[in-house]
Chain A
């Protein structure tokens, strides 16, 4: 919201304060000043100059060489505007001037070989409008050399204030002035109304009926007859222009002026265009179309609150007037609407129509039901002053159920209790009174506060405490140097995931964070996705069902950047709908936390000490198993292996806890990768971290280091290629004596000498006993037995 400092000064004396004082205090009491345009600063070097002569530039058709008198001397200036002519008074930027539009400085220059000592300005260069058709031509009576800050009244300061949604009262110059009156403890002067009314009575000319009293609690109307629609005077145009409004005509400008003065939105109807000279406020019964005064056709939903005349709709209540009844150059008689509409009703309509106006913005936040009469009279007064005409006597004011002021009691002790420091009673009284609240002492300890209707946000004691705190300044609240800590058990629900991050990153993985919003096909790869009702785009229309899509997109991006070797991980939530039924409760959806590990490219680069090595399935399995070991779940999880493909993987394995799947991964299929434009192998494993978190790991027990020597035996057998390592290992463990404690595969290979479809697997067996030294004989016996058993079972032969 733009606020003009000069305009503010109409209601409060601020002349002794600097702009910085005002800005800082406003910001620090809750009306944040986001931007300041100080015209005195912006236009400080510009002066009025007189064009003495104009001649053609020798080297450029569209340029002129001008002699310009700046009040002291005559300068040669090059000008490109088509309208420059001798005798004009113009805005001149001498050398050194900073031009507001584009923020560049005027320098002495040669333009196509001719010297130029400054610039004659167009409106857009001064940010006064977007007009660049020609230079600004000023009133010829202005004296050359006069600063334009004086000549053009460019001496205001404009604040851009961010008003929070709880403060509708501050959405006007008077509203801001009221806060300043509390901050600086000085008087607020509201404009007085002096109305000359004719003998014709308003309620004999027009009438108002409210059919929807819930959504329109009050409708006041003032009638002005025989006005003359014309341009507004300079002062009014200037006021509106400063806050970025385009002047239209004297009547409309007055309504806009009052909206920004008092915060009360008004609308002026051409009374002669109102059928039956009647206003009826009612909601639409069915959908219909309506043309607003910006000539746009609006589709009104059912139950839209409308202003109607005897026959038809003439305005969308509180939002925008209709084309059919707007003020036009031939308007003679007008009806000024000053109403109070239900905030939710206006907000619903504004949302439905996607139409937000200065008016709807104020009504949906809560206008002041008590101000309607005053605002209508103020408008009538200004209109009669500016447009002539006579103000009909009296006001039509339909207000069936008066909205009363709230009364709240305030305990001084509660102020201290909440804020942590004491503010004197006098100060509290002063702050609240300056804000327009009426006070009555209840007793020594409390106060009865009557809240005016322009402060719908003040409903409770705590709201009064906020007013006191903010006006007195949050800076005055002390900063306590110590706190009490209670000694109940502390919880950290994120400890597990933090531990997991530490483990995985220590393996050499880099953590990713991907966007959980995905396209339907990405989310659909791994589950039944949940759709957004209002997505930004098709690429972000679903919640991810796994971390795979985001991970593969990150792989693709890195490949695009020329990075081919990757170890990536992510921890994040994934979402699924449990059925295709409507989502109606948390039971219909699942949200859980997953962990994904991704390997792609080379595990080892070619270096001076080793050959290059690519990631493969066993790299993945190694990391996965190291992880489960680190979180002490390795003994509780079982693996299942799948050598044939599923939707995602060419081959894969799963981790399971009590037959429940807690992780899956393997080599990602080529056709999945090609959808992500990935042309190298990718190995992925995804854990359900929420499930892992729930498993209680085995309690760790100390195992004494072995005191007696181990006996190691190796063997290599030739097997059919289809024999699986794990089957052999399990068979050995099953058949061996209790003394065999460890079986390890240390070599595996295939070649022609072994025979076709054959492979050699070499194992190391470790024997020991915790309580004695083993004899070579007992080990030898078991070892030989095992070899013969394996040979029989798997049709294997000892290697050479």
Chain B
């Protein structure tokens, strides 16, 4: 008798659960069979009326029924939930992500940071000096005599006879040496000014990095080693270079360092004026006259110095064709870097 009822409920449940096509209908099924007054739950009341001997057998059967119903119910529920979520909470993952503000440092700053990083790893300190300089620091103490054509090498903005806008970062060399005794190993980045017409290739202000090393055993060979190491780290290890004699009043001997033009690979092009070489920096051994100005003993101490322009290096590295772009601050330009 009970077996029959069990079978009947089982069959009826199977039919109902197969027909259930929504969570709502499933809830009705739960109430019909599994809730407190559901037919499966109610069957357990019959246990009380059963004899002691039959009780375990019937109990086992009822448990089996309940487990089977519950299991099927749960799996149907899971199935329906999945499909309902899918239809109700459709998510378009292809929508654009929410904007994050990026911001950036100027490309010239980035170039400078790269240069600073390389020299700092070689034990250089970083020093600064004023942009509005005196004639003494900018020229005189750097061994530019008054009325000497060497002063024509740098078109100068003057404030008056005594003050000017520094034309190079070299005056910081003097300031650093005045403030300390050797060994001095420092780079000195900063803005400099030249009274030059503004066009695609020149601007009235730009940034330089100056370098200085003074100690008892400094050689031209070490200068070459240091700068070659820098250039290979900055431009790539396959780079070819040459050191060419030049003239700066504050170094003797003086040199300019060229690297193979990376636009044409040394074949000759418009950028390198068909020479196959690009000048990247000036350098040399500190002139003993400069040591006189800072009271260093030029017999005991030897030094080297170098200087490079950040704009020029950056123009070359990124193929930028107009130096004025650096100072326009057009966001379409700034956001590229």
Contact = CB atoms under 8 A, between A and B. Distances in A.
Interface of A: 27-30, 32, 34-35, 164-167, 343-344, 347-348, 364-365, 417-421, 460, 462-463, 465-466, 469-470, 474-475, 477-483, 485-486, 488, 490-495, 498, 501-502, 504-517, 530-536, 540, 543, 554, 557-558, 561, 563, 566-568, 572-573, 575, 582-584, 586, 589, 591, 604-605, 607-609
B158 A533 contact: yes
A554 B228 CA distance: 38
Contacts of B102: 508
Contact of A474 (B109, B123, B158, B243): B243
B158 A165 contact: no
Given A418-B220, A511-B334, A586-B130, 4 more contacts: A165-B247, A481-B225, A532-B158, A533-B159
Contacts of B160: 533, 582-583
Contacts of A554: 328-329
Given A475-B243, A480-B222, A483-B226, A512 B287 contact: no
A344 B243 contact: no
A532 B105 contact: no
Contacts of B197: 536
B310 to A, nearest CB: 10
Interface in B120-171: 120, 122-128, 130-132, 134, 146-150, 152-153, 157-160, 162-163, 165
B247 A483 contact: no
Contacts of B123: 483, 485-486, 490
B56 interface: no
A480 B125 CA distance: 21
B255 A474 contact: yes
A11 to B, nearest CB: 22
Contact of A513 (B101, B159, B219, B329): B329
Given A417-B219, A563-B332, A515 B132 contact: no
B259 interface: no
A586 B135 CA distance: 12
26 contacts: A30-B245, A165-B247, A166-B247, A344-B146, A344-B147, A465-B252, A479-B221, A479-B224, A480-B225, A488-B183, A493-B127, A501-B109, A510-B103, A510-B329, A511-B109, A512-B334, A513-B326, A513-B327, A517-B157, A554-B329, A563-B330, A563-B331, A575-B131, A575-B132, A586-B134, A607-B99
Contact of A480 (B95, B224, B327): B224
B329 A480 contact: no
Interface in B177-198: 183, 185-186, 189, 191, 193, 195, 197-198
B104 A505 contact: yes
B96 interface: yes
A666 B186 CA distance: 40
Nearest to B279: A32
Contact of A557 (B186, B189, B330): B330
Contacts of B254: 466
Contacts of B96: 607-608
B104 A510 contact: yes
Given A508-B101, A536-B204, A558-B330, A494 B288 contact: no
A365 to B, nearest CB: 6
A586 to B, nearest CB: 7
Contacts of B99: 604-605, 607
Nearest to A482: B225
A586 B331 CA distance: 37
Contact of A483 (B225, B243, B329): B225
A535 B198 CA distance: 13
Closest 5 CB pairs of A and B: A508-B101, A420-B221, A420-B219, A164-B247, A30-B245
A32 B277 CA distance: 12
Most chain B beta-carbon neighbours within 10 Å: one of A164, A460, A563: A164
A512 B106 CA distance: 6
B247 A514 contact: no
Contacts of B245: 28-30, 466, 469-470, 474
B281 interface: no
Interface in B83-123: 95-96, 98-99, 101-106, 108-109, 113, 116, 120, 122-123
A557 B324 CA distance: 13
A479 B104 CA distance: 37
B266 interface: no
Contacts of A607: 96, 98-99
A415 to B, nearest CB: 10
A385 to B, nearest CB: 35
Contacts of B8: none
Contacts of B198: 536
Given A469-B220, A485-B123, A563-B332, A493 B128 contact: yes
A569 B234 CA distance: 27
A701 to B, nearest CB: 30
A227 B84 CA distance: 117
User: Looking at chain B's contact residues, is the secondary structure mostly helix, strand, loop, or mixed?
Assistant: mixed
Contacts of A582: 160
B219 A347 contact: no
A609 B225 contact: no
Contacts of A166: 150, 247, 249
Nearest to A23: B275
B122 A483 contact: yes
Nearest to A609: B98
Nearest to A593: B128
A418 B104 contact: no
A569 B168 CA distance: 25
A578 to B, nearest CB: 13
A721 B119 CA distance: 59
A167 B253 CA distance: 13
A409 to B, nearest CB: 13
Contacts of B330: 557-558, 561, 563
Nearest to B241: A479
A161 B79 CA distance: 88
A368 B304 CA distance: 31
A482 B226 CA distance: 8
B204 A365 contact: no
B331 A510 contact: yes
Given A347-B147, A515-B205, A543-B132, A509 B103 contact: yes
B219 A480 contact: yes
A517 B205 contact: yes
B116 A494 contact: yes
Contacts of B69: none
Nearest to A498: B113
A34 B221 contact: no
Nearest to A480: B225
Contacts of A347: 147-149
B302 interface: yes
A490 B125 contact: yes
A93 B223 CA distance: 53
A478 B224 CA distance: 8
Contacts of A507: 101, 103
A607 B105 CA distance: 27
B329 A514 contact: yes
A95 B106 CA distance: 53
A534 to B, nearest CB: 6
A502 B105 CA distance: 8
A485 B122 contact: yes
Contact of A583 (B120, B159, B215, B331): B159
Contact of A511 (B106, B148, B221): B106
B221 A517 contact: no
Given A28-B244, A460-B288, A417 B104 contact: no
Given A347-B148, A511-B334, A558-B329, A421 B221 contact: yes
A186 B24 CA distance: 109
Given A474-B243, A586-B134, A491 B103 contact: no
Contacts of A573: 130-131, 191
A495 B128 CA distance: 11
Given A418-B285, A563-B331, A566-B331, A167 B132 contact: no
B101 A492 contact: no
